[in-house]
Amino acid sequence: MDENIIVSLKDIVVDFDGQKVLDGLSLDIHDKEFVTFLGPSGCGKTTTLRVIAGFITPKSGNVFFDGKDIADLPPYKRPVNTVFQKYALFPHLNVFENVAFGLRLKKMPEEEIRPKVLEMLEIVGLKGFERRSIHQLSGGQQQRVAIARSLVNQPRVLLLDEPLGALDLKLRKEMQLELKRLQREMNITFVYVTHDQEEALTMSDTVVVMSGGNIQQIGSPQDIYNEPRNAFVARFIGDSNIVDGVMIKDFLVNFGGHDFTCVDRGFKSNEPVQVVIRPEDVQIVPPSIGMLTGLVREVIFKGVHFEMHVDVEGYEWLIHSTQASQPGELIGMNIGPDEIHIMARTEV
Amino acid sequence: MLKSKTSRWLAGPYLVWMAAFIVVPLFIVIWYAMTNSDGQFTLDNLTQIGRYSSVFARSLILAAVSTVICLVLAFPVGYFLSRLRANKQHIMLMLVMLPMWMNFLLRTYAWMTLLEKNGLINKFFGLFGIGPFNMINTSGAVVLGMVYNYLPFMILPIYTAMTKIDDSIIEAAQDLGCNVWQILWRVLVPLTGPGIATGITQVFVPSVSTFIISRMLGGGSNLLIGDLIELQFLGNSYNLNLGSAMSLVLMVIVLLCMSFTSSFDESEMEGVM
């Protein structure tokens, strides 16, 4: 067994009122890694987190921590701590007492608690806030208290359930970087739940894409983005064009009425496949030299780029480009071999 | 500014009511308490009360025991109610309130017939050859009557306070290492402090001043302050001045009790408001 694995889920089944929320999920989480569970709401990502925390007892399956089965361990005995979506701070305690809560339960002497709490507050950027009531804090500050309250207990694994969901975009981006920094500094495992694919790509070492109570793909952010295993992952992670094609032979694929060289192989000859092309990977050229030609339907200015909807033989393509074409214009499109990703065709 | 000036007038009708039916009578009570039957100033009425200290003590003890029993019963059920789904909560709350819709005298009278020597409970025990037990006319019966009648006043405020506690706060406490008892003492009790304080006031105050419950269930041997006062106004020992003095002392006791619970209330609310 891999010694580096800290949490291991085996064939976890959870159902609520007869409806399967997790359907035989298995997953290994490596120590000191930033792992993100990514998926749409209802995909089972929060449920998986709560199974690890101990708030949900699975109907069947095992949860291992350091190789030991912890199925019978109640939440308060598990070496993990959780940062909740709604912060869940104790309203009757001030900032200091909220952070000190876990240490006091461990009966740590007062003279050890104080420096630990103050140090943790400094790490999360709340130095001098210890006497504040939590009602005097902004959402972002409350979230920092919640993070400090968990981290001060030095958990082996920190579980975070959409912790930035209630913050505005700017603050969210700041906190993303900060969480990543904290994870590196504390050198512990973070398991992070989010439905925001950009957040997942920004912070994670490993992304677990989930849907319908199952894992769709596990990989690094680059893998997930560049090599989606199926159409669900491709659609969920960023914008993408997914078109039907035929694999003629290794390194040659036909779609849109044109043969393209690509870097994929290992498919059967003439196997029907799905081709994924990211919108920013389509190069716009004059129609006469384009591999494909398309009719521009719509052009939307997005700040960094123009988003264009282009009709190519009945498929609507999405193209991101820094130069704008006009609606109704005929354009040529080129796609390089590296930009083409081939997936086995799946029914969606 | 205009708004606050206009809204001030809205309190007018009640202020008139309060002056006529609360403030003026209060001064009349004080007047009677401080005078003798000839209308002359005296403190005799108040000093005489010392003779009845055992009645005052009994009232305070029975009311305190009832309050504690109500608290112990209401706290878990308040938690249970607050964790039910909304529609079930409404049904269960109605069930809690149901006895309150029955006339107070009737409810207490019903207990008389249950607790009597030949009452239903003793008849039931008689079937098994045990008893009869002496239940009516004991201080235990008085406490039972108080708990039965005032329990909903304890459940409701505690339940209300409990509904404001999000599940995730309890989960956070578990997550940080709380077992069941630690959740109770470190999270639930402090967060429901204001509800507990309200409940204590709402049970203790009517219990300490009741006279119906003690008379119906306590018999002659369990005289409470309320009975004593009633005797001065309607009974054989007709003495308005002494009765007023007793009312005044009872009022001071109630005020002390309320200021005690409200100070508890405030200290627990620190940081919440």
β A252-255/A206-211 pair status: unpaired
Cα separation, B24 vs A348, in Å, equals 81
Which ranges of chain A does DSSP label H, i.e. alpha helix?
A: 45-53, 95-105, 110-123, 139-151, 169-186, 197-203, 221-226, 231-236
CA distance A75 to chain B (A): 6
Contact state of B272 with A94 under an 8 Å Cβ cutoff? no
Residue B272 pLDDT greater than 70, yes or no: no
B271 CB neighbours in chain A (<8 A) are: 91-94, 133-135
Q: Please give the distance of CA A254 from its chain centroid, rounded to a whole number.
A: 32
Calculate Rg over the CA atoms of chain B: 23
* pLDDT confidence of residue B50: 85
Do the Cβ atoms of A78 and A156 come closer than 8 Å?
no
DSSP string, A97-135: HHHHHHHHHTT--HHHHHHHHHHHHHHTT-TT-TTSBGG
Interface probe with A: pick from B168, B171, B176, most Cβ of A within 10 Å: B176
With respect to residue B29, please indicate whether it lies within any of the assigned structural domains.
no
Do the Cβ atoms of A279 and A319 come closer than 8 Å?
yes
Q: Please give the distance of CA A164 from its chain centroid, rounded to a whole number.
A: 13
pLDDT digits over B34-67, tens only? 888 887 888 888 888 888 888 888 999 999 999 9
End-to-end CA distance of chain B: 26
Q: Please give the distance of CA B223 from its chain centroid, rounded to a whole number.
A: 17
Contact state of A102 with B177 under an 8 Å Cβ cutoff? yes
B182 CB neighbours in chain A (<8 A) are: 105
DSSP string, A238-267: S--EEEEEEEEETTEEEETTEEEE-S---P
Packed helices B24-33 and B240-269: angle between N→C axes, nearest 10 degrees: 120
Contact state of B177 with A90 under an 8 Å Cβ cutoff? no
β A34-38/A206-211 pair status: parallel
With respect to residue B217, please indicate whether it lies within any of the assigned structural domains.
yes
Interface probe with A: pick from B85, B167, B174, B175, most Cβ of A within 10 Å: B175
A55 CB neighbours in chain B (<8 A) are: 171, 174
A56 CB neighbours in chain B (<8 A) are: none
**Beta-carbon contacts of residue A292 (< 8 Å; ≥ 6 apart):** A256, A257, A258, A312, A332, A333, A335
pLDDT digits over A71-104, tens only? 888 999 999 999 998 889 999 999 999 999 999 9
pTM of full prediction above 0.90: no
Cα separation, B200 vs B70, in Å, equals 9
Cα separation, A116 vs A125, in Å, equals 14
- Which residues of B sit within 8 Å Cβ distance of A? 166, 168-169, 171-179, 182, 186-187, 190-191, 193, 268, 270-273
Q: Which of B173, B176, B191 sits opposite A153 (nearest CB)?
A: B176
Set out the domains of chain A in order of their start, with CATH numbers.
5-231 (3.40.50.300), 239-344 (2.40.50.140)
Contact state of A82 with B169 under an 8 Å Cβ cutoff? no
pLDDT digits over B239-255, tens only? 888 889 999 999 998 88
Q: CATH number of the domain at B197, please.
A: 1.10.3720.10
Q: Give per-residue burial for A214-251: e unless 16+ CB within 10 Å, then b.
A: bbbbbbebeebbebbbbbbbbebbeebbbeebbbeeee
pLDDT digits over B199-239, tens only? 998 999 999 988 888 888 888 777 888 888 888 888 777 88
With respect to residue B263, please indicate whether it lies within any of the assigned structural domains.
no
Instruction: Give the chain A residue whose CA is nearest to the CA of B171.
Output: A55
Q: What is the mean pLDDT of residues A17-27?
A: 89
Q: How many domains does chain B have?
A: 1
pLDDT digits over A178-229, tens only? 899 999 988 999 999 999 988 999 999 999 999 988 999 999 999 999 889 8
Do the Cβ atoms of B218 and B137 come closer than 8 Å?
yes
* pLDDT confidence of residue A96: 95
Confidence label for A2 from pLDDT (cuts 50, 70 and 90): low
A88 CB neighbours in chain B (<8 A) are: 166, 168-169, 171-172
CB atoms within 10 A of CB B20: 10
pLDDT digits over B151-202, tens only? 999 999 999 999 999 999 999 999 999 999 999 999 999 999 889 999 998 9
> Coil, strand or helix: which one is A326?
coil
Q: What is the mean pLDDT of residues A323-347?
A: 88
With respect to residue B10, please indicate whether it lies within any of the assigned structural domains.
no
Confidence label for A6 from pLDDT (cuts 50, 70 and 90): very high
Contact state of A135 with B191 under an 8 Å Cβ cutoff? no
A154 CB neighbours in chain B (<8 A) are: none
Domain encompassing residue B85: 51-237
Q: Which of A82, A92, A102 sits opposite B190 (nearest CB)?
A: A92
Q: Which of B166, B174, B270 sits opposite A86 (nearest CB)?
A: B166
Contact state of A91 with B186 under an 8 Å Cβ cutoff? no
Contact state of A102 with B176 under an 8 Å Cβ cutoff? yes
Contact state of A94 with B271 under an 8 Å Cβ cutoff? yes
Contact state of B271 with A84 under an 8 Å Cβ cutoff? no
pLDDT digits over A134-175, tens only? 999 998 899 999 999 999 999 999 999 999 888 888 888 988
Contact state of B272 with A135 under an 8 Å Cβ cutoff? yes
Do the Cβ atoms of B194 and B163 come closer than 8 Å?
no
CA distance A330 to chain B (A): 56
- Which residues of A sit within 8 Å Cβ distance of B? 53-55, 74-76, 80-82, 84-86, 88-94, 101-102, 105-106, 133-135, 149-150, 153
> Coil, strand or helix: which one is A313?
coil
